[in-house]
Structure 1
Amino acid sequence: MPKILIADDEASLRDALGIILRQAGYEVRMAADGAQAVELFMRERPDLVVLDVMMPRLSGFEVCEALRAISPEVPLLMLSAKGAVDDCRTGLRAGADDYVVKPFDDEELLLRIEALLRRRDQAGAAVTSASKMTPTTIGSLTIDPLRCEVRVDGNAVTLTPKEFQILALMADNPGRVFTRDDLIEALWGQEYEDSNISIPVYIRRIRLKIEKDPSRPEYLKTVWRFGYKLGD
């Protein structure tokens, strides 16, 4: 039974989410503020975390960054009444995998949670073909799909699950140009194509981690008006 940590300072919402998730078959843990969320995460090691943005002691953004440093692979879903684009971008930059604005539809929330858990379990298989499981090397960049590992100049690079999936998908097709819709359909699903997922934010975060000069990328390149490609 997957374990989900809910972090929200609003008791009524925590309780409502707990009921929804337990009825869906999940084990639930709850935190009333950001600092407690980090403490519970360290002790319980949940399979997925649902984070509110505005919390005392540590904000959802701060918790997101802390959890990413502890566990790069855990799916993080940010849940907030704030629907501004800047808040969504901040959450994604902090390491969130998805962002849902309150009030939300219960069924949609469950579908997003199921999708995040499924893609976590299928992270390696979802972005590599059965026939190509060997590492891809481009210059000093190496992407190893079996180890879910990325290295630059021999040094390991820490990526979130979604960042790794984007890079591994492109490494499996070096030189191919991927549009925004290509990446979203492959890694999130067609139902997310009209969502506010910001592929440029993910690309920027990946470049900051793998490029010597992110403003002049050697590996992850932009093809103006079309999309992105890895390598030449």
Structure 2
Amino acid sequence: MTNQYDLLLVDDDPDLRSLLKQYLEKHGHQVATLSDASQLDRRLARQRPDLLILDLMLPGESGLQVCQRLKLADEDLPILMLTARGDEIDRIIGLEMGADDYLGKPFNPRELLARIQAILRRRKLRGPAGAPDPDGGVVVFGDCQLDLATRRLQRAGQTLPLTSGEFSLLAVLVRYPNRPLSRERLIELSRGREAEAFERSMDVQISRLRKLIEPNPGQPSLIQTVWGFGYVFVPDGKAR
């Protein structure tokens, strides 16, 4: 029997909200629908769903801004983002902000249902992407230290904010020092086996991490490129 979940859908299209609510409830899930970020904040203050379905193009605060805000607040709430825009950069940024998955409109409601089930099944098996590791300890590299238990990154004594996606990727890199990893393998390790390989997203997120930890992001020494393959994390910063 399929697990039943408490779902929250935020989209400014009333027809789509009604359609998806009916479809998902027909498959046994509880579904609440909202139209904007202010309604979402009031709802989350009272009750947390199992998963948030969040439209990118919301009036006022956008879905991307909401996603980033929730993830920076250490929210472990799974987020599936929807968008009518085909711009690749929106998809990249959504994943960088910590979204668990991304679905472009128009879509088949059956695919949405399958993605919801995959996200929650994956999280049940391996925990949420970017979750702290109580047994991870502190990893020191360059002038940085990463506390895997508290998800805190410090550089020269200054604490730097990390999104869930950034922490998840950096945690993978520090666990595999001096070992070249393909883009596909990095996506799998940081987002789960069922995550869709999206190489451009990984390249952009690596670039963001480099700006946080590298002495010279233009000439990276800690996260080095393995041309035609992927990346390798080198804690001592020596050329390979």
**Tell me, which stretches of 5 or more residues in structure 1 are unaligned?**
none
Quick check: 1:127–1:165 contact (8 Å CA) kept in 2? yes
Give the 3-state SS of the residue equivalent to 1:16 in structure 2.
Answer: helix
CA distance in 2 between counterparts of 1:34 and 1:202 reads 26
Letter in 2 for 1:167: L
| Structure 2 residue aligned with 1:189 | 193
1:137-171 deviation digits (Å, cap 9, x = unpaired): 22333334444444333444433333222221221
| Structure 2 residue aligned with 1:85 | 88
Give the 3-state SS of the residue equivalent to 2:181 in structure 1.
Answer: coil
Give the 3-state SS of the residue equivalent to 1:192 in structure 2.
Answer: coil
Backbone CA RMSD of aligned residues: 3.3
162, 166, 170: which is aligned to 1:167? 170
Report the CA distance between 1:100 and its aligned residue.
0.7
**Normalized against structure 2, the TM-score is what?**
0.76
Give the 3 Å change call, closer, same or farther, for CA 40–191 of structure 1 in structure 2: closer
| Structure 1 residue aligned with 2:22 | 19
1:32-75 deviation digits (Å, cap 9, x = unpaired): 12332233334433343211122222222232233233335333
- The 5 Å alignment of 1:1-232 reads 2-121=5-124, 122-123=126-127, 133-186=136-189, 187-189=191-193, 192-193=196-197, 198-211=201-214, 213-231=216-234, 232=237
**Normalized against structure 1, the TM-score is what?**
0.78
Quick check: 1:64–1:94 contact (8 Å CA) kept in 2? yes
Larger radius of gyration: 2
Report the CA distance between 1:176 and its aligned residue.
1.0
**Tell me, which stretches of 5 or more residues in structure 2 are unaligned?**
none
CA distance in 1 between counterparts of 2:154 and 2:113 reads 35
CA distance in 2 between counterparts of 1:46 and 1:158 reads 25
Report the CA distance between 1:80 and its aligned residue.
1.2
CA distance in 2 between counterparts of 1:208 and 1:38 reads 31
Identity fraction in percent: 36
